[in-house]
Amino acid sequence: MDYSKYPAEPYRIKMVEPVKMISKEERMKVAEEAGFNTFLIPSDAVYIDLLTDSGTNAMSDRQWAGMMLGDEAYAGSVNFAHLKDTVEELMGFRHIVPTHQGRGAENLLSSIAIKEGQYVPGNMYFTTTRFHQENNGGIFIDIIRDEAHDATIDIPFKGNIDVEKLRKLIEEKGAENIAYVCLAVTVNLAGGQPVSMGNMKEVSELCKANGIKVFYDATRFAENAFFIKEQEDGYQDKTIAEIVKEMFSYADGCTMSGKKDGIVNIGGFLCMNDDELFEQAKELVVVFEGMPSYGGMAGRDMEALAIGLKESMQYEYISHRVLQVRYLGDKLKEAGVPIVEPVGGHAVFLDARRFCPHLEQTDFPAQSLANELFIESGVRTMERGIISAGRDKNTGENHMPKLETVRVTIPRRVYTYKHMDVVADAIIKLYEHKEDIKGLKFVYEPKQLRFFTARFEHK
Ligand SMILES: *Cc1c(COP(=O)(O)O)cnc(C)c1O
């Protein structure tokens, strides 16, 4: 193995959690009982769990030590002060409101910053983010560059906003009808694709000139910073911390899920510099989450998050993180398995359209593929395609996203390269008898965020 390309784990292991594999017959039974939805499979039936990298992180010894320093005072916890100071130091925002997780922050921001009928342009959508925008009367508009919708185009910074699309939207609708621009770093549903510093700067300049605020979905900010260091001219000699600071200098605030690049198991926050917006956020957080000095989080969790945010920016950590994901992607590519290219920061996305050319999108190929992979190998993944995209709020028709994918998501600091080998072998084996994968149909379809709890049967 080329250790400069795929560095060894930059940690040693001092606590282990045994995993076991049940038989294929048992997995078939489990899958059926779960309505062919990997979200409904009990975790002890799973061998390698790549459902999500959300809250599935392994915390460090320092974070666990921080948990013992939890100050659970109802008001004015010292851990809140630590988190606030850390966020200000790393991201440069003056105000922070802790929330129970990222969607709590999205709920607050959407409630205070969107007026009925306003547009909320973004670089592709995220499920919970768009839900809160639409739930607060906003109209989501996708302004990501066109290439992001094509799984086969391998270019850097595929998550960039198409600035011309944004300019046109401002001209057509008027700046006053745009609530804010939501810029995700990296873009989860596009395949974990990063946004370049140049693009963030350009978006910021255009928005400033028109009096429009820019809020980042900062959930994967450290992974994005790694890609900038690796691939954008002029950033090779900068530290991840310097890059992160510059990234956020082009934003008015952000929502953050601590469960991703915060390397914790629960938590999130909303940030901004604007005093008036902060006052409004504080008024709302007491209703939905808790006192502004803890929001939705325990003191100990705020402490672990403050430490995790800093750890996510250590070069040894973040380079291993992104390159371990790339290792899995490279193995699949070499075997001819169709994946979204280039491989992004947190996951390898299988291209279900090319994996299952015998199925129509309305046969839910990605949902079915995720399910078959579990039965084949005990590896749990999730659908990111037509099921996740949901239905149009007004017409009730299915959104038909160009990307129909299975997300093979790598938790932080949890699995080794050997686990990646096992996963690659399982996917390659499934690809060899892909014709056996059958289409699915709904037997239960929830109204909101249907992918979490829907149930299916074979067509
Ligand atoms: C996970 C995620 C969220 C939502 O965060 P939660 O902590 O799960 O509520 C928002 N945006 C992106 C890009 C995410 O990956």
- pLDDT given at position 324: 98
145 tagged catalytic: no
> Which entry of 162, 217, 252, 301 is annotated as an active-site residue?
217
Q: Does residue 315 carry a catalytic annotation?
A: no
Identify whether 217 is a catalytic site residue: yes
Cα-based angle 104, 391, 443 (whole degrees, multiple of 5): 100
Closest ligand 1 atom to Cα of 187: 13
Q: Considering 80, 126, 278, 431, which one is annotated as catalytic? A: 126
The number of beta carbons lying within 10 Å of the beta carbon of residue 55 is 16
Residue 37 alpha carbon to ligand 1 centre in Å: 20
Q: What is the pTM of this model?
A: 0.96
Q: For residue 164, how many other CB atoms are within 10 A of its CB?
A: 10
Q: Are 255 and 261 in contact (CB under 8 A)?
A: no
N residues, the chain: 459
What domains can be seen in the chain, in order of their start residue?
A: 3-53+315-458 (3.90.1150.10), 61-311 (3.40.640.10)
The CB-based long-range contact list for 281-287 (8 Å cut-off, 24+ gap) reads 281/95, 281/97, 281/108, 281/109, 281/112, 282/97, 284/108, 284/111, 284/112, 285/97, 285/99, 285/108
Q: What does the alpha-carbon distance between residue 60 and residue 62 come to, in Å, rounded to a whole number?
A: 5
Residue 312, strand partner residues: none
Please pick, among 215, 221, 278, 451, the residue that the annotation labels catalytic.
451
Q: Candidates 107, 125, 128, 129: which one to mutate for ligand 1, based on the most atoms within 8 Å of Cβ?
A: 128
Residue written as token pair 């949902």: 367
pLDDT in tens, 51-107: 999 999 999 999 999 999 999 999 999 999 999 999 999 999 999 999 999 999 999
Residue 82 CA to residue 253 CA, distance in Å, equals 19
Atom of ligand 1 nearest to the CA of 103: 9
Q: Which ranges of the chain have pLDDT less than 50?
A: none
Catalytic residue flag (residue 384): yes
Strands 379-380 and 48-49 turn out to be: parallel
Burial (0-12, 13-18, 19+ Cβ within 10 Å), 173: middle
Annotated catalytic residue 260: yes
**How many angstroms separate the alpha carbon of residue 129 from the centre of ligand 1?**
8
Which residues contact residue 154 at a Cβ distance below 8 angstroms, ignoring those fewer than 6 apart?
341, 342
Give catalytic status of residue 38 as yes or no. no
From 120, 216, 259, give the residue whose CB has the most ligand 1 atoms within 8 Å, as the site to mutate.
259
**CA pair distance 426, 208, nearest whole angstrom:** 49
Contact predicate 366/189, CB 8 Å? no
At 362 the pLDDT is 97
DSSP labels, 301-361? HHHHHHHHHHHTT-HHHHHHHHHHHHHHHHHHHHTT--B-SS--SSEEEEEHHHH-TTS-G
Q: Which residues line ligand 1 (CB under 6 A)?
A: 54, 101-103, 126, 128-129, 184, 188, 217, 219, 257, 259-260, 268
Catalytic residue among 158, 260, 380, 407: 260
Query: What pLDDT is stored for residue 204 in this prediction?
Result: 98
Gap between the Cα atoms of 77 and 32, Å rounded: 47
How high is the pLDDT of residue 367? 98
For residues 195 and 339, give the distance between their C-alpha atoms in angstroms, rounded to a whole number.
Answer: 20
CA gap 159, 145 in Å, rounded = 7
Spatial separation of the C-alpha atoms in residues 188 and 322, rounded to whole Å: 14
Both tokens of residue 92? 């440069």
Whose alpha carbon is nearest atom 6 of ligand 1?
A: 102
Q: How far is the CA of 352 from the centre of ligand 1 (A)?
A: 23
Provide the β-strand partners of residue 349. Answer: 407
Question: Is the distance from CB of 408 to CB of 196 less than 8 angstroms?
Answer: no
Residues near 151 by Cβ (< 8 Å), separated by ≥ 6?
191, 338, 339, 340, 341, 349, 351, 353, 354, 403, 405
Separation between Cα atoms, residue 124 and residue 399, nearest integer Å: 13
- What pLDDT does 393 receive? 85
Is residue 321 flagged as an active site residue? Answer: no
